[in-house]
Amino acid sequence: MHLRAFLLYALRAVTSGDRRYHLWMGSLTAVMLGGGYAYLVQAEHGLVVTGMNDHVSWGLYISNMAFLVGVAAAAVMLVLPAYVLKDVDFSKAVLLAEGVAVSALVMCLGFVMANSPGYPWKWWRLTPGIGLLNWPDSMLAWDVVMLNGYLVLNLFIPLYILYSHFIGEQPLKRKYVPFVYMSVFWAVSIHLVTAFLFAGLTARPFWNSALLGPRFLASAFTAGPACMILLIGFIRANTRYPIPAGAVDKLAIATTVAAQANLVMLLSELIFEFYSPTHHSISARYLFFGLGEHDALVPWIRTGIALNIAATCVLMIHPLRRNPRVLMWACAALFLGIWVEKGIGLVVPGFVPSPLGEIVEYTPTWVELWVTAGIWAMGLFVLTVLVRVALPIELGEARSPYLEAPPPARGARPRTARPRYKDVRPFRTR
**How many residues bind to other proteins according to rule CB under 8 A?**
48
**Minimum CB–partner distance for residue 73 and other proteins (Å):** 20
**Using the rule CB under 8 A, which residue among 92, 165, 191, 204 binds other proteins?**
204
By beta-carbon proximity to other proteins, the closer residue of 46 and 242 is 46
Q: Is 149 in the site for other proteins (CB under 8 A)?
A: no
In whole angstroms, what is the distance from residue 33 CA to residue 371 CA?
A: 9
**Using the rule CB under 8 A, which residue among 28, 38, 47, 258 binds other proteins?**
47
Amino acid at residue number 13: A
By beta-carbon proximity to other proteins, the closer residue of 122 and 318 is 122
Q: Is 419 in the site for other proteins (CB under 8 A)?
A: no
**Using the rule CB under 8 A, which residue among 88, 201, 298, 310 binds other proteins?**
201
In whole angstroms, what is the distance from residue 283 CA to residue 285 CA?
A: 5
DSSP string, 97-155: HHHHHHHHHHHHHHHHHHHS-S-GGGGGGGSTTTS---TTT-HHHHHHHHHHHHHHHHH
Q: Is 112 in the site for other proteins (CB under 8 A)?
A: yes
Measured from the Cβ of residue 240, the count of other Cβ atoms closer than 10 Å reads 11
Instruction: Enumerate residues 71-110 that contact other proteins by CB under 8 A.
Output: none
In whole angstroms, what is the distance from residue 118 CA to residue 29 CA?
A: 22
Beta strand segments in 245-353, E: none
Q: Are 328 and 230 in contact (CB under 8 A)?
A: yes
Q: Is 350 in the site for other proteins (CB under 8 A)?
A: yes
Q: Which of the ranges 41-49, 65-73, 321-329, 402-410 carries the binding residues for other proteins, by CB under 8 A?
A: 41-49
Measured from the Cβ of residue 429, the count of other Cβ atoms closer than 10 Å reads 12
Q: Are 98 and 143 in contact (CB under 8 A)?
A: no
**Minimum CB–partner distance for residue 146 and other proteins (Å):** 12
Q: Is 293 in the site for other proteins (CB under 8 A)?
A: no
Q: Is 279 in the site for other proteins (CB under 8 A)?
A: yes
Q: Which of the ranges 70-78, 96-104, 136-144, 253-261 carries the binding residues for other proteins, by CB under 8 A?
A: 136-144
**Using the rule CB under 8 A, which residue among 358, 420, 422, 429 binds other proteins?**
358
In whole angstroms, what is the distance from residue 362 CA to residue 373 CA?
A: 18
By beta-carbon proximity to other proteins, the closer residue of 1 and 130 is 130
Q: Which of the ranges 72-80, 84-92, 168-176, 192-200 carries the binding residues for other proteins, by CB under 8 A?
A: 192-200
**Minimum CB–partner distance for residue 70 and other proteins (Å):** 19
Q: Residue 97's closest CA among 204, 185, 184?
A: 184
Amino acid at residue number 365: T
In sequence order, the 6+-apart residues with CB closer than 8 A to the CB of 30 are none
Interface with other proteins (CB under 8 A): 45-48, 50, 52-55, 57-58, 112, 115-118, 122-123, 125-126, 130-134, 137-141, 144, 197-198, 200-204, 279, 282, 350-351, 353-358
